[in-house]
Amino acid sequence: MTTSLPPLQQWVDEVTELTNPDRIHWCTGSEVEYEQLIADMQATGTLSALNQDEYPNCYLHLSDPTDVARVEHLTYVCTENKEDAGPNNNWMSPADGHAKVDALFDGAMRGRTMYVIPYCMGPIDSPYSRCGVEITDSPYVVVNMKIMTRMGAAPLERIEREGKFIKGLHSTGDLDPERRFIMHFPDELSIKSIGSGYGGNALLGKKCHALRIASFQAREEGWLAEHMLIMGLESPDGETHYIACAFPSACGKTNLAMLIPPHSLPGWKIWTLGDDIAWLHLDEDGRLRAINPESGYFGVVPGTNAKTNPNAFDMIRHDTIFTNVARTTDNEPWWEGKKDGEPAFDWQGREYDPADGKAAHPNSRFTVAATNNPSYSKLADAPEGVPISAIVFGGRRARLAPLVYEAKDWNHGVLVGASVGSETTAADAAEVGVIRRDPMAMKPFCGYNFADYWTHWLSFPDRTDKLPRIFHVNWFRQDGEGNFLWPGFGENMRVLCWIIDRCENRIGAKETPVGYLPEDGDIDTSELDISAATMRELLSIDIAHWKKENDHFGEYLDGFGARVPEALRAEQQRVAEELNQAL
């Protein structure tokens, strides 16, 4: 196979010349191709079959132990002007960026097959979708892209028709962390990634295209590319509201996106559209509509069990690629928090010895088609997407943020989103309780200067008066002894019901300097073992603590200098004044 599109053919020829592969394979996206690649990888030891009776069509890949996560310090945005990348990104000039990685790509595919993967982010016939082509020397990337994107012949046909595509060049190189770079060239709509086979660094449709490059395009074209799950909440009388939620990585987006409502809320159903990325566009009526550009989940495995995420636990029982989990003696996948079985071999393939650390890598992953999810929403494939009633931000805050609150208006909501942060835990930092600022949960993913990004968010009320309401949730509030106050997981549905009631103007709220909070008793706690005092604590705000937080955020904004939009400063100062008055 080749292509009728000259610029694509020319680029493939240039890459062939540079990287020197032994063979070129244009991916069709067929099942036969997938099965052949799975068989080839088993033959070379890249993949091994798991227990096929218990886990049909499930396979295990073990990464190089130095290549198990995204590498933010090796991820660059290459723009002519450093200010355009902003303090939120590592920067290199495009000339330096190309020179640095092209030297590493030189001959990198010798002895290997080069795969050309045409893909479409979003429903194949949606005007909101965007296509790309990833060239890679990793068959593991190809099979993962088959699950995570619409890939192969149909996207190639769309690319040839439209003549437009994002160029993504990837090679695992020699997996040496010293020769690992993830480079983005937003002005050229291209990506070059070398030295890593890990999902976020290597499946270029995901973070590189659908967030970093897409966020840049979205600003130019007037839409938003966000690190958000999308879910539908169907009420007992059959009305469905869609919400989009942005939480930093590892704050439970996948669990929330497919939660099962508690028995005490009979008749409610959840429909999952996406667990990681949302592309949001204003439609002709001025409503914000969302599509999920992905078609699968690349989720964290540890902690997944029948209680925390029953839908995910079911969906990864078949047709799943596991990466860096442990195995039992029966060759079943095993991970910490599975609550079933014992590990026999760890994520490095060694006989399990607790002295070597965890059996499954804490960032071990499942790759699975969205259609495997029992709560899959067919509208995930709808070209027009779904209308969004609420945008929900969240972070991991032990003390500060209440269980839920609502922003006063869109501009205040932009401040709420921009101030998203999570406190570091003992597991990931020497200093516990430090705030890691993660505006809109996009710190690792915004492809341009955050100050310009906030300006873009603030431009939406000029274009429509039908914007969704904005909320903030915190599932992680703790008492003085460090115990979580809120049960989380399926019970989070109770908070989502309050959010829907607010969107429908069915319920009042308490006005405070930080936003609107639920009145006592307005969050349904029936059949939940939680005292009225605990609920009050969960919904309390400490004005002095908020004042410190607001000041801290003001200092953070200073780091972005004169580009910070005036309206965001004004919001921060307005809240500061209200807090001062309340003190």
In Å, how far are 212, 262, 394, 579 from 576, measured between CA atoms?
Answer: 32, 38, 21, 5
Q: Which of 88, 249 has the CB closer to ligand OXD? A: 249
| Rounded distance between C-alpha atoms, residue 375 and residue 258, angstroms | 6
d(CA 333, CA 367): 13
Dihedral sign for Cα 128, 133, 137, 139, please: positive
Of the residues 245, 251, 497, 503, only one is catalytic, namely 251
Q: Please name the residue that has the structure tokens 């595509």.
A: 165
Q: Does 255 bind ligand OXD (CB under 6 A)?
A: no
Q: Does 70 bind ligand OXD (CB under 6 A)?
A: yes
304 binds ligand OXD (CB under 6 A): no
* Residue nearest ligand OXD by beta-carbon distance: 249
Instruction: Return the number of the residue (70 or 477) whose C-beta is nearest ligand OXD.
Output: 70
Among 249, 320, 367, 422, binds ligand OXD (CB under 6 A): 249
Q: Is 251 a catalytic residue?
A: yes
Distance separating alpha carbons of residues 229 and 252, to the nearest angstrom: 10
Q: How far is the CB of 395 from Mn ion (least distance, A)?
A: 14
Does position 296 bind ligand OXD by CB under 6 A? no
CA distance 497 to 532: 19
- Which pair of tokens denotes residue 576? 């500061």
Q: How far is residue 583's CA from residue 578's CA, in Å, rounded to a whole number? A: 9
70 touches, from ligand OXD, Mn ion, none (C-beta below 5 to 8 Å by class): ligand OXD
Q: Is 226 in the site for Mn ion (CB under 5 A)?
A: no
Which is nearest to 245 in space by CA: 441, 404, 457?
Answer: 441
137 binds ligand OXD (CB under 6 A): no
Closest approach of Mn ion to the CB of residue 255, in Å: 13
DSSP annotation of 213: I
Contact track, Mn ion, 229-268, x by CB under 5 A: --------------------x-------------------
Residue 395 or 518: the one with the smaller Cβ distance to ligand OXD is 395
**Minimum gap (Å) between residue 209 Cβ and ligand OXD:** 14
| 276, 332, 549, 578: residue in contact with ligand OXD (rule CB under 6 A) | 276
- Please give the helix or strand (H or E) that residue 389 lies within, else none: strand 386-394
337: region left, alpha or beta (phi > 0 left; psi from -120 to 50 alpha): left
Among 118, 197, 200, 413, binds ligand OXD (CB under 6 A): 200
- Please compute, for residue 185, the number of CA atoms within 13 A of its CA located in the half-sphere on the CB side: 19
Up-side HSE of residue 460: CA atoms within 13 Å toward CB? 27
Query: Measuring CA to CA, how many Å separate 392 from each of 96, 264, 367, 441?
Result: 39, 23, 25, 11
* H or E segment and range at residue 492: none
Q: Quote the CA–CA distance of 231 and 210 in Å, as a whole number.
A: 18
| β partners of residue 382 | none
- C-beta of 141: minimal distance to ligand OXD in Å? 15
* Least Cβ distance, residue 200 to Mn ion (angstroms): 8
- 67 or 491: CB nearest ligand OXD: 67
- Pick what 364 binds: Mn ion, ligand OXD, none; C-beta below 5 to 8 Å, kind-dependent: none
Binding mask 145-184 for ligand OXD (x = CB under 6 A): ----------------------------------------
Cβ(101)–Cβ(194) below 8 Å: yes
Q: Report the C-alpha dihedral over residues 541, 546, 549, 550, rounded to 10 degrees.
A: 130
**Cβ 275 to ligand OXD shortest distance, Å:** 8
User: Which of 276, 406, 452, 491 touches Mn ion by CB under 5 A?
Assistant: 276
Part of the chain binding Mn ion (CB under 5 A), chosen from 52-60, 272-280, 407-415, 454-462:
272-280
The answer to the question of residue 212 lying near ligand OXD (CB under 6 A) is no
CB of 255 to ligand OXD, least distance (A): 13
Cite the active site residues: 251
What residue ranges bind ligand OXD (CB under 6 A)?
70, 200, 249, 276, 298
What residue ranges bind Mn ion (CB under 5 A)?
249, 276
